[in-house]
Every structure is written in structure tokens, then in C-alpha cells.
Amino acid sequence: MHVRGEADEPHVCEVGLRSNLANGADRIEFVAIEVEDDEVRLMRPDARQDPCALADERGPAAERVGDGPDFRAEQQVVDDGQDHARMIRPLVRIVSAAAPPFFKNGYVVWCDATREGVVIDPGDDVDDLLGAVREHGLAIRFILLTHAHLDHVTGVARAKAALDAPIWLHRDDLFLYEGAVQQGAMFGLRVEPPPPVDEFYEPPQQLRFGEHVVDVLHTPGHCPGGVCLAIGRAGSAARALFVGDTLFAGSIGRTDLPGGDLGTLLASIRSVLFAFPDDTVVHSGHGPETTIGEERRTNPFLTAPD
């Protein structure tokens, strides 16, 4: 599968973006991302290719109705034939899932010692996430949202009904969350209204599940209320980062949606995320995982001069 886009054309796709500062205008263009044989390769920044194909499947929480803007499929990062309950730090485990039409990564992260955990960004992958919760016998403490764009919230209602766990969101994204139905209509989708937010983040703050903590870090730019979740064992400085659509392997989040700002996004990445050690694993909202060091060295948006 090849994921590509054209400049000056709005896309649902969250990866494969590059900034164009010509004529003093900050905007996001698309760079081709080639996905083949389970590998992702960044193609030449000046590549101009055909738009990527539409996602034919329908997600379980967002139903396609009528005509709407084209979907740009993301590469699914989960191979259903494998066990995805992999260790990310001592005694903490993670399951990830992605589902059409957005192929957004949702996560279940839990403490192996206590079986307490969190669900991050339940979207159209919610059935897989809830299946992992049942399979591993988990007690979910929180439903944590990195931000409130449509693809990250379509499964919140089902997750809330199944888990009865509090929903956390940054207040600056409440307008997006409360407008989820309208967001769906823009893309020709019928979306179930999400339930009310239970708690608002107040970064920097720390939540706890089992023997682990979640450091909540405000990282606006992709949207006003974007946060990154740094998860690790209490008493240890080591963290795994769940960054939503702030940072991707070889790319950054788009900033052409309401509340987005390129300069703010770059500042968030450089001042907040790049404060972590190079070996810190980054779990993004789309596409494969990466590390802070890899992005610091090779990400074309972050190595190029401003």
C-alpha cells in the first residue's frame, strides 16, 4: 500500500506532512510515505505522486453516509496474527490497535503486577481495545485522550459504557470534543455523540495506575488541547511516550485544522518531547513507533532550519 498526498489539498491522513514556508505562509504539505512489506520509508520531500486510495472498509463507530471528502488510509501497525501485549518498560505492557477508516492507533497500557491500566484514544479500534481488556483481565482506571479530533474519540462512548472509567481531556480541546458529530458530518460520517468529559487535565500533573505513573504534558500545535502522556514506573525516570498526533516517525502532525499552528507544534516537540532521552520510545497516533533520538536526528521537519 502506498500513502501519498498532494499539496494544498486537505487530507484526513496525519502522516507524510512537510512544512512550506514560502512567501511567509506557514502551511502543511504532504511528502510521500511508502508503505510496503510492513516497512515505512520516507520518500524524497519533492515527490509528487497520486493521492492515496480510499479506505473501503467502514469503522465500527463511525458510519459513512453519503459523499464526503476523501479518506486517506494510514498503514495499520498491528498484525493480527501476533501477540501485541508487549513489554515497553519493566512490568508495564501495551496493546495497540488500528481500524478503518482512519487507521488511528489506540492503546491499552497496564501494570503487569496489579492488572490496573489505562485506555488511550479509543476510536474505531475500540472493540479490539476492549477485547484486550477482557483477555488480560484488566481494571481500567482512566480513559485518556491525547486530543479530540474525530478519529481519536469515535469509540469513547462504547469505552465509557463498557469500562465505567473517567474520561480525561484537556479543556482547550473541549470545543472539538463537543463538536464530534459535526466533525463526522464534514467527512460524510455519522458519529455517536461522545459522553461528557469527567476530568480535565491540568498539566503538568501526574496520574497513577498500579505501580506506574502518567505524566501529562501539554503539547499544543496540532490542536490547542493536545497532550502527550509519558508513562513509566513510579520512582523511575524512564518513560514511554504516547504522543497522539504531535509527532510521527519521520513526520509531524498537520496544523491546517481549527486551532492548529505550525510554530506552536514545533516548539512543543522541541521543548517538551526532545527533553526526553534519545532511547525513549514514541507511540504515535498513526503509523509505527519510533524513538526520540531517531526523530531528533532524521525527522526532516525538525532537522531543517526554521
pLDDT tens digits along 282-300: 999 999 999 999 999 999 9
208 is written with which cell numbers? 497513577
Q: Average per-residue pLDDT in the chain?
A: 78
**pLDDT reported for residue 86:** 53
Break the chain into its structural domains and give their ranges.
2-303
Grid coordinates of 50: 497520486
Confidence label for 111 from pLDDT (cuts 50, 70 and 90): very high
CA distance 199 to 182: 23
Cβ atoms of residues 149 and 177 within 8 Å: no
> How confident is the model at residue 306, as a pLDDT?
62
Q: What is the CATH number of domain 2-303?
A: 3.60.15.10
pLDDT reported for residue 187: 87
Residues 6+ apart with CB under 8 A from 59: 99, 100, 101, 102, 123, 124, 154
Question: What pLDDT does residue 65 have?
Answer: 41
The burial of 49, by beta-carbon neighbours within 10 Å (0-12 exposed, 13-18 middle, 19 or more buried), is given as middle
DSSP letter assigned to residue 301: H
Residue 63 CA to residue 42 CA, distance in Å, equals 32
**For the chain, how long is the longest CA-to-CA vector?**
55
| pLDDT number for residue 38 | 35
Examine the pLDDT at 51 and tell me if it is beyond 50: no
| Rounded Cα gap, residues 212 and 100, in angstroms | 31
40 band by pLDDT with thresholds 50, 70 and 90 = very low
Per-residue confidence at 272, pLDDT binned at 50, 70, 90? very high
Distance separating alpha carbons of residues 216 and 206, to the nearest angstrom: 6
Higher model confidence: residue 262 or residue 98? 262
Averaged pLDDT, 256-270: 96
Q: Give, as one character, the DSSP assignment of residue 218.
A: E
Rg (CA), the chain: 18
Query: What percent of the chain lies above the pLDDT cut of 70?
Result: 70
**Helix, strand, coil content of the chain in percent (nearest 5):** 20, 30, 50
Mean pLDDT confidence for 34-40:
33
